[in-house]
Amino acid sequence: MSGYHRGETAAQERAGLARRAASAGRAIGSDIPEVAADFLARQPFLVLGGADDRGRIWATQLTGEPGFLSVPAPDTLVVGALPPPGDPLAGLLYGAGADGAAPARVGMIGIEPATRRRMRMNGRAVRAGDGLRVDLDQALGNCPKYIQERRHRRITPGEETGQRPTVTDGDALSPAQQEALRTADTFFIATASDRGDADASHRGGNPGFVQVLTPRLLRWPDYAGNGMFLTLGNLELNPAAGLLVPDWDTGASLHLTGTARTVWDEEAVARVPGAERLVEFEVTAVREVTAASPLRWSEPAFHRFNPPVAG
């Protein structure tokens, strides 16, 4: 699948960026270039988005030693990991393509905070042993804007003591979860078109760029990007969305699912520094998983293009 769907072109036209998007769209293909395959082979984690058996969109992360991501053919990604029990997409991925089940339509992003590089991929995943094989529909590189520089390490066996994952569910954000979002500098968002084709993307900014309006309502600025509107284009057709907010210090994952809409109102947008649009996200379910990742990360070096945050 290449080119843009009608939701993406509608968002591009509304933003007055159709010409830029047409030029940028030439970078969308179905093959992973060799240099990108080498990049993926070095990564210890992958962000993935998809829909659960109730049609709710979630985003999650899969981790492994470098090499757990491989590209045996230009249009195929092999992921040598599955999510742990309790992950909101465990059911989707464990059963993908098994016993007559359809492949799971997934969006993925491989990201290297230390170098601010990322690779975005969408496709159809089937279970392959203890991992996944994904036949790709789209693959493209993204710019480094708004990625905070971080370096990772893996926790040692001694550090793993007493760190079994625990799962907490809710239908609204707790006070601690609200604070985690208010201080977040990074999250990942999963969306899907009206045909169910999934996508995963990155959002970053200075702490405070995510506003917690109520325990069930978030808002964040949509900063200048490549003009493709892959996320907002999906939201034009399908408001379902999911967020992953990683805890870089503890390895916990905060997963949110709900609906999102783009705010185009010029007066509202003008009140938020650097915003070209706003996105509002209504939470319908929350899942927090402790010790979800064995990776621990350094303090961030914020991207120089991050706009200031209003006080």
pLDDT in tens, 90-117: 999 999 998 888 999 999 999 999 999 9
Write out the H or E segment, with its range, that includes residue 291.
Answer: none
Nearest CA-CA partner of 127 in 87, 90, 95, 84: 95
Domain assignment present for 205: yes
**For residue 112, is it within any domain?**
yes
Residue 56 within any structural domain of the chain: yes
For residue 308, tell me if it sits in a domain: no
Q: Pairing mode, if any, of strands 104-112 and 117-128?
A: antiparallel
Q: Is the pLDDT of residue 2 over 80?
A: no
β partners of residue 80: none
Gap between the Cα atoms of 75 and 59, Å rounded: 22
Bridge-based pairing state of the strands 240-246 and 277-289: unpaired
* Spatial distance between the Cα atoms of 146 and 188, rounded to a whole number of angstroms: 12
Q: Residue 109 is part of a domain; what is its CATH number?
A: 2.30.110.10
**Whole domain around residue 197: which residue ranges?**
6-155+165-295
- If one counts the domains in the chain, the total is 1
**pLDDT averaged over the chain?**
95
Within a domain: 302 = no
Q: Please report whether residue 18 resides in a domain.
A: yes
Query: What predicted TM-score, i.e. pTM, was given to this entire model?
Result: 0.97
> Does the pLDDT of residue 160 top 80, yes or no?
no
Taking each helix axis as running N to C, give the angle between helix 6-14 and helix 230-237, from 0 to 180 degrees, rounded to the nearest 10. 110
Contact by Cβ (8 Å): 205, 266 = no
Q: What tens digit of pLDDT does each residue of 60-74 get?
A: 999 999 999 999 999
Q: Does a structural domain hold residue 263?
A: yes
Banded pLDDT at 164 (limits 50, 70, 90): confident
Q: Residue 28: inside a domain, yes or no?
A: yes
